[in-house]
Structure 1
Amino acid sequence: MIEFLEKTNSVDKKYLAGESALKLLNFMEAGITMSELVQQHRDLLIAMAGPQLRRLSEARRLWQELENLRESIMAANPGVPEEVFALALSARRMEALRHILPHFPMADFESTAIWLEAVRAALEVWTGALNLSTKKGTLKAALLGRNLPEYLESVVEKALDIFSITRDVWYALKRGETGGLIRLEFEYPVSSIATHLDAVKGRMGVTGTRMSTEELQRILVSEALPGALRTFLDNRMREETYKEVSVSYLEVLKVPPVKAQRLGAFNPDSVAGTCGLVVLNEKGKSLAHAVLPLTGDWCERARVFFVEQKTAYVVIPSFMMEYNAILDEFREKEGGFLVFMPVRSDGISEAVELLEKSGEATPGPSAGAIILGRRFMFPSREWSLIDPIAALGNEVPDDVSEDELRVYLLEQRGLIQMDAGLDRIPPRVLPVAHSGGLLAAGKLNPQITHFEDVKMGMVLTGIIINITKFGAFINIGLSQEALVHVSELSDDFVSDPFEVVSLGQQVKATVVAIDTDKNRISLSLRTNPKPIEPRKPRLDDRRKPMRDDRYQSTASRSQALKDLENLFKK
């Protein structure tokens, strides 16, 4: 790996000198992820500047890919000299080398030097053809069947520029081809490739002498180029997917911590038929806990528990926000008002297991509630404890390898954990409030009791229960929380929502959009708000169902919700 770094100048050489750098590179060469290095050998990473550490990570990833390709090439071509790999310091050229070598047997050449020159010339032709085709080539979806699905109607029988094909279009085309609906046909600049081949043919030794330009173009380019273009598109879309998923994952790790003197949390378990309740102090330690059977008046008893513990803020699993009537009953009665803070419960079983293994004295059935509360208070720390794939839940697309994505995310997690700015994110403070002091008893908005009661232009009272970089979620007295997009938080431009609103803040907002299909409500805090036009649907929705432990698929998740609902009605 060190040799590769020196040849490619991937990292400033001053960072590769010294005993610590050598030890770090040895660990990285052994395949230890950046996340593991942060936990076990942070001292070795501190000396590496942030941008250089990211470049080192990317270089290690490329080196590993090249090493895997090199091993497969050597297995298929025994006796191939190591010098040939110096010609291929990119994955694209290494792939080309695997394709070219069978057509250039060393035994046909007078010397290794002549053979290497011939291979070099062939690599130039191949990589030039591939580069030219990715920029100027086209792809056409030829129609094979009549019953064409809607997702293919806009792309079939059209010459699509390969370079401009989007991820959704590419996956739609692949699905159509797999289903026997279309045939993919690549077109590339044949004449330009032939001209290049003619110019270097004389450097190809005996292979160039015994074959015509047309034959060389066929075996070096035409037969393999469609497959290489598919690989190019697959790799590009995979990288885009990795980066998109990584952004979603890293956003969770960069959510500011929350300080609250007392924070409640509850976590229902439909399998056990119980609900764990807990109240945490500002350090996330349990101050009080209880376990209730999900029968009878459990909502009232749970509400009383939090009211008696003098906490107004209660963290709940986000899927519970679907229970309108139950939450209304739970939230508000004479003498106390509760504000629910939804937190994703993905991977909670793994988190509970880790908590139990840590030796911390925890009330068993309430462990899930402790996890939810701590995720709200210390998001970066808590989400970093579990497998990133489990943390993503339903955000893992079908079209990628989970194992490869996991390795990528662990690397990105390690890099973000080494970001000095992460430790400087100031915590957000929940206003001190007990359950009776947030609002006077009575509903937030007495005029609305169901989603259907919400109308455009209504001015509603709400409490901010969550803040993200794209806006603020507001409890308006229904199970469906409403969203104020960042562009609607103020009349002025807002770069950081935390600068204009705060958790627990009571606001008056105007309804500017209602999505009846998805039960979504959009609000605005602008002085003169305008209605928001609905967003057009994307070509393809490739999200997986929820992976949240007991909710492994859409069907099982729906069944779990029904189980909970049945328990609530008892």
Structure 2
Amino acid sequence: MPQSDTIETVGKNEAEERERIVQQVAKELNLSLKQVRTTISLLDEGNTIPFIARYRKEMTGELDENQLRDIEERNHYLRNLEDRKHEVIRIIAEQNKLTEELEAAIRKAVKLQEVEDLYRPYRQKRKTRASVAKEKGLEPLAEWLLSQPKQGDPLAEAAKYIDPDKGVETAEEALQGAMDIVAESIADEAATRAWVRKYTMEHGMMVSEAKAPEAESVYEMYYNYRESAKKMPSHRILAMNRGEREDVLKVSLEVDAEMIHRHIAGRWIKGGSATSGVLQSTIEDAYKRLIAPSIEREVRGELTERAEQQAITIFAANLRSLLLQPPVRGKCVLGVDPAYRTGCKLAVVDDTGKLLEVAVVYPTPPNNKKREAAAKVGELIDRYGVSLIVIGNGTASRETEQFIAEVIAERKGKELAYLIVNEAGASVYSASKLAQEEFPDLDVAERSAVSIARRLQDPLAELVKIEPKAIGVGQYQHDVSQKQLDESLTAVVESAVNHVGVDVNTASPSLLSYVSGVNATTAKNIVKFREENGRFQSRKQLQKVPRLGAKTYEQCIGFMRINGGEHPLDRTPIHPESYDVVSRLFAELGVGLDQLGSKELAARLAALKPEELAERLEVGVPTLRDILDSLQRPGRDPREELPLPIFRTDVLKIEDLAPGMELQGTVRNVIDFGAFVDIGIKNDGLVHISQLSKSFVKHPMDVVSVGDTVTVWVLSVDVKKGRVGLTMVSPQDSKAQ
């Protein structure tokens, strides 16, 4: 065949494969072929998901980011699957063992596990009992056993293979070797493995027991525990796994072996044969020695994978909610990083986040210098007009909170409040290279105090400086695939940053690096260009930044904001490619860009019907809808529509609580079995999933998100353990049930 024809055939086959993938993804995700085909094409062209979701809605049929990521993930998996199929077919063909039936089965497989099962008999193995038996020439005896003759004596047949030169001394040895060969054949058969795997998943019981039953540990509930494997929630699977890794628990997967023996026998043994007894023993050996251990690993691996995916999903959703907390603007803030012996570090930042002053005070044990500390805090409050104090929730936070509450109480009539914030990741940031560059003259704890203050003023801008997994809003995040976790959390941060948009004249390199299409190098180049040339006056100027090419510009520019620049539209989410649409729209309305932001223009725009306008303006309806929304509220920060956090002026102690007490709280973390709520005491209270609503709740995230302000009632108080049980079902509703 000419080379051109070969290339054409390969290209045709590849195109057919790609189309099959499109069809499968569309079927799995219940989307149209056009949506999937277009999305994959856009991704292949180097477009980012935030860009596609925002600026290519007509092309994808308005798919959201989650749907786009699902398509990306499945497309990636299926392409890798096709590559693996080609590799397996090539290897088996090189062994001259590829049949048409086997090739068809491999090509038809829809999961990687199916491909690996079909490849298993042909994989190069390390030395096994079966391979040793084959070297001794016992394969014909194994074939005789599998031929299942009506008559004959297996031991007598085996005697024919005695050969001391090959290491076969007795008939029993010969028979055992042949049984080892047959056992490996049974264990390697794809259909047998698939059935055993499915049966184990459906009927297996996860069982755990303590290695040292008398020892106390956090795993005590698993010291003598069993539960249906397929029904186990993800947090229990991950807890068992961790207990096993820490050598506290012994975990196994139990299943009815007799049922599996019967099924395999039904596949491999014919009735009335002379070798059926030997084959039955072989089946039992094959299952116990070869199939069961590997299937248990595979099933537990699949359960763990599902549990990890759930944990990652939980972490990602919590992280998004945390990142999109509303910024507290217009306040001069005093950040406090609490401590005992080394003192509380203070950092005052102005309403733009600029550091004004740092200090250290010692109001907590063992120093207890409250009077001096109060004087210093009061001095900072008066000097800079501090109206809000932010305390990290780490070591000594509650003692520090008590001190701050006393300071506030003494300053009657002053507008002053405090807030406890989750300081997770602050220490990671403060010791980072980024923090050293930002504050070279501060020590680690002082940088941490700055971070604590700033994360209230603009949570997103501050938290992007921290490695996402260091922000503690997940469950078992240290027990999951770190690569998958990093990928998922990076996608969440990217999504949040692009949802809000970035002021290109104030954004840090960390924030800019998460903008669609921008990498760390380009982000640094943007900041360097800004420092050398002054503020950006227009989006077009970004084209002059080194390494910011045409494709990067297209992907990022709609998410970049320039306030007070040359072009009024540069402060909106409208992409420059749509500026001419706005020009046509304003010409039709008879207004100018100078009226942007006025109430009169907003009212006129709100009255327009995109469906009627779109064709005249030569633009798609979804894009026009977004343009009109952006023009009505230019410069809008979507986070500002959310309620602000709860500010406090006095301390609540666990001893002050009583069942039935009504409180306002902030959701700190959402997990599979409930939500932790900050009600102003040392430890967050738990609202169990059963107490989130008077109606059935499938998952806590259906009801609450991180950062939500909620009304709760105290259910139970355990002062000794510092635990508080809460409910979001009011006492009146409870009585009515």
TM range (shorter): 0.5 to 0.7
More strand by percentage: 1
CA distance in 2, matches of 1:138, 1:250: 31
Instruction: Show structure 1 runs of 5+ residues with no match.
Output: 29-36, 109-117, 203-210, 533-570
Offset at 1:188? 3.9
One-letter amino acid of the counterpart of residue 490, structure 2: L
Change (3 A) 1:423 1:258: closer
Offset at 1:399? 3.4
CA distance in 2, matches of 1:502, 1:197: 61
Q: Which range moved further: 135-144 or 320-329?
A: 135-144
CA distance in 2, matches of 1:511, 1:23: 52
Change (3 A) 1:230 1:59: same
Superposed CA deviations along residues 447-472 of structure 1, whole A, max 9, x for unmatched, are x8x654x2526979x88677888586
Which of 294, 311, 318 pairs up with 1:251?
A: 318
Alignment of 1:22 onto 2:17: no
One-letter amino acid of the counterpart of residue 186, structure 1: E
Which of 185, 191, 202 pairs up with 1:124?
A: 191
Which of 86, 106, 112 pairs up with 2:107?
A: 86
Find the counterpart in structure 2 of residue 316 from structure 1.
Answer: 391
Alignment of 1:389 onto 2:408: no
Conserved 8 A contact 2:40-2:75: no
CA distance in 2, matches of 1:178, 1:471: 26
Find the counterpart in structure 2 of residue 405 from structure 1.
Answer: 485
Offset at 1:262? 1.0
Conserved 8 A contact 2:439-2:447: no
Change (3 A) 1:496 1:243: closer
Which of 3, 6, 13 pairs up with 2:33?
A: 13
One-letter amino acid of the counterpart of residue 327, structure 2: V
Change (3 A) 1:263 1:483: farther
CA distance in 2, matches of 1:280, 1:349: 22
Offset at 1:42? 7.5
Change (3 A) 1:479 1:349: closer
Paired residue secondary structure (2:381): helix
Find the counterpart in structure 1 of residue 403 from structure 2.
Answer: 326
Which of 211, 214, 223 pairs up with 2:290?
A: 223
Paired residue secondary structure (1:316): strand
Change (3 A) 1:248 1:278: same
One-letter amino acid of the counterpart of residue 380, structure 2: F
CA distance in 2, matches of 1:416, 1:268: 27
CA distance in 2, matches of 1:353, 1:175: 31
Q: Which range moved further: 334-343 or 265-274?
A: 265-274
Paired residue secondary structure (1:340): strand
Offset at 1:39? 7.5
Which of 712, 715, 718 pairs up with 1:515?
A: 718
Find the counterpart in structure 2 of residue 33 from structure 1.
Answer: none
Q: Which range moved further: 133-142 or 168-177?
A: 168-177
One-letter amino acid of the counterpart of residue 246, structure 1: T
Q: Which range moved further: 333-342 or 135-144?
A: 135-144
Change (3 A) 1:241 1:303: farther
Which of 299, 306, 319 pairs up with 1:239?
A: 306
Report the identity percentage.
13
Find the counterpart in structure 2 of residue 341 from structure 1.
Answer: 419
CA distance in 2, matches of 1:144, 1:356: 45
Superposed CA deviations along residues 78-119 of structure 1, whole A, max 9, x for unmatched, are 9367947424431332442453334999xx9xxxxxxxxx99
Conserved 8 A contact 1:38-1:418: no
CA distance in 1, matches of 2:470, 2:303: 25
CA distance in 1, matches of 2:226, 2:686: 41
Find the counterpart in structure 1 of residue 376 from structure 2.
Answer: 301
Superposed CA deviations along residues 355-404 of structure 1, whole A, max 9, x for unmatched, are 95899899957654443344334434543443222223885455334334
Within 5 A, what are the aligned runs for 1:83-482? Answer: 83=103, 85-102=106-123, 122-138=189-205, 151=219, 156=224, 161-167=228-234, 168=236, 171-172=239-240, 175=243, 179=247, 184=252, 186-188=254-256, 190-191=258-259, 195=263, 198=266, 215=282, 219=286, 223-255=290-322, 256-268=325-337, 275-281=345-351, 284-286=352-354, 289-295=356-362, 297-319=372-394, 320-323=396-399, 325-335=402-412, 336=414, 338-348=416-426, 351=429, 367-392=447-472, 395-411=475-491, 413=493, 424=638, 426-428=640-642, 444=650, 451-452=654-655, 454-456=656-658, 473-475=678-680
Offset at 1:497? 7.7
Offset at 1:302? 2.1
Offset at 1:291? 0.9
CA distance in 2, matches of 1:291, 1:243: 42
Q: Which range moved further: 191-200 or 486-495?
A: 486-495
Conserved 8 A contact 1:315-1:342: yes
Find the counterpart in structure 1 of residue 524 from structure 2.
Answer: none
Q: Which range moved further: 82-91 or 413-422?
A: 413-422
One-letter amino acid of the counterpart of residue 99, structure 1: R
Change (3 A) 1:221 1:419: farther
Offset at 1:43? 7.3
CA distance in 2, matches of 1:376, 1:486: 29
Superposed CA deviations along residues 26-47 of structure 1, whole A, max 9, x for unmatched, are 769xxxxxxxx45798778765
Q: Which range moved further: 386-395 or 1-10?
A: 1-10
Conserved 8 A contact 1:473-1:482: yes
CA distance in 2, matches of 1:188, 1:357: 58
Offset at 1:310? 4.0
Instruction: Show structure 2 runs of 5+ residues with no match.
Output: 1-13, 27-31, 132-138, 140-184, 271-277, 363-368, 501-625, 627-635
Paired residue secondary structure (1:345): coil
The TM-score normalised by the length of structure 1 is: 0.62
CA distance in 2, matches of 1:64, 1:353: 41
CA distance in 2, matches of 1:468, 1:175: 23
Offset at 1:135? 0.9
The TM-score normalised by the length of structure 2 is: 0.50
CA distance in 2, matches of 1:88, 1:384: 42
Structure with bigger RCO (C-alpha 8 Å, 6+ apart) = 1
Change (3 A) 1:510 1:40: closer
Superposed CA deviations along residues 396-423 of structure 1, whole A, max 9, x for unmatched, are 4553343343234334555677789998
CA distance in 1, matches of 2:345, 2:489: 33
Paired residue secondary structure (1:223): helix
Conserved 8 A contact 2:469-2:477: no
Q: Which range moved further: 146-155 or 322-331?
A: 146-155
CA distance in 2, matches of 1:378, 1:39: 21
CA distance in 1, matches of 2:389, 2:476: 29
Find the counterpart in structure 2 of residue 62 from structure 1.
Answer: 77
Conserved 8 A contact 2:204-2:253: no
Change (3 A) 1:524 1:399: closer
Change (3 A) 1:76 1:224: farther
Conserved 8 A contact 1:480-1:519: yes
CA distance in 2, matches of 1:169, 1:432: 36
CA distance in 2, matches of 1:149, 1:370: 40
